[in-house]
Structure 1
């Protein structure tokens, strides 16, 4: 059983613990039972009932009252006494009996009332009424949550999951609150400060860390650069935004539970400004440079579509995300660029928008004409063969622009007009001063 803990529990996953049974492991397993992990055999499925007692209807709802739990305890006691010794049936009944007693103690501690909602450290917990069939672990004590009989809470904002008895003792601030206040990712690659800067304690729960005790071995979070204990660091794997932006490195690395929740919450939020952080990345990643160009085209298309009643129907969620003027990317966008899926979506989107603008009477009437060649071809700012003047926003064919020495005809006319106006104003000022002096004399 102790070996199953070391192999299956997220608390000991990929740790240096020897999975062979020993006195130290056995004592640790027994002590963990007080935190919701009653049985050391964590590979046991809490939703499985032996066939011999499947028709006894022993399972109770997670919102059962005190009287219902006491009735289930008495029934379970009778079945334990009548079951064969050392059988799988008796083992299951004993585990279930202990869980029922723990559940009864939870209700007694709260005067018979189960709190439906709890707010603590930025979390907004709600009781799990219909938990899933998959195995769940408490984010506070890393013990198994036995959904059959144990009450549990889940945060509606960050997904923090904990036992009913652990909710008042959590020390982790809600990841949603942390990312909302910060509003950006950590852009330094693993900013490690060392265990000495943390006073050899876990960055979250302040548990003493040491390399001598494998149960309290420090684990480095590659996102924050801080060290955590095994309870706060489950060796979750995630891509690191700083490594992606600086090196386009998508290899997943170990992060703490807090960092894992923060990255999951902010994965689709546009927090990354590649132009200001690492503008050279565009020259190395061709797909990223192409998407960046398409975003500029979508920005011009948005100006046309927003002024058209029919064009507003084309403003899909993807268009709103990538057509924004802030030029920021989310990790989901960068991952789609790396996978190649965003290129297909953008191509289809731009073709549909371009077709509407060129065929719509209202949108096409806001196009431009090239005054160099003088033909009737309508130009748009998002055309690849057109070029816009940065000063006066005049449009030219790229070939016409080069043929005129990259000089804008409208800007030249404005400069000549300004010079002429300045000369006329100077002459009129000089004449006025001469007449006044003559009048005074």
Structure 2
């Protein structure tokens, strides 16, 4: 025969192990069994309430995300099985990407500028949430971060859902805000490419730069320059397959050289004319650009198809692999070397790449500006240390402004000469404005 306290005893035995110790459960059951019937009944009612309350609390506790062992504790760190160093290593933290952008803010009517660096990290194991908040991410660069030479990162995102079996995190850093000139901002952006990233945890600092940003192998052949059969003009590409009629070299961050291009294709005309094409580029860090897309037209000369188009600016200098697709199928690809950005100040930009100017030869060059009020401007070539003026020239306004197709602004050209005595690092001082340091 079932006794009146059997159900309650069963509930006590089945309580979650975190609520009452085994010995305490036995003591409570013993007290119930040995109590007089009247006392037992008085005892059972409030005890039922206590048990029910304890059960509800334990259910809520167990359902909480903080109970998930992947998100709590410091994953055995400090408990004897893992040292902090071993633990950080087990996470397999890797830098996936680094992006640097110019940002602005208004303060008391002044427009202040800074550079924001966005660091994308991945880990093999999920970083527990309390460990994540215990970590201090640092970006070290004495030019960007004057206080202690490093900036503290802001945790922008924490993704507990794996992406391709790895977990994603984003940390942002901001340089000091100030009323920088265009040249100073350019220096900040240049400096942001040389940052030592680290993470401080439990009093120790671990370098993150041992893992470089994602690297992509570029294995296509380099483009060559070759003449068109029925034209004195040269194109770059793969002879007999694909050619670009345009500049000999592209320059990072420049839209001028890619503003008007002709693409020539050689193959079976039936497989090209009227077909959809696409041109993409990728650099060794995995950054991709869509350069052009559309429908191919019939050939103009000896080529089997062509298209008049334009390319956006390549975002960075260095090797890029350019791939040409027809109807989503790879047609041909080759590599090019994109030159560093043009030397520029707040109001002036040199339209000739120092990498293309012959050493020891006086070369005619053009400086472009939105300021056309002056008939001439003074241009100084200075070594990177700033202690030697190598050349002093006067550039003349040609008085023939052009219109910027992007914004309709009038642009003026100043013509003059420059001569690099040797290979090295320099900057220009144009009408009192300093450019970034560059190499020739």
Same fold (TM over 0.5): no
Q: TM-score, normalised by structure 2?
A: 0.22
Q: Greater strand share, 1 or 2?
A: 2
Q: TM-score, normalised by structure 1?
A: 0.22
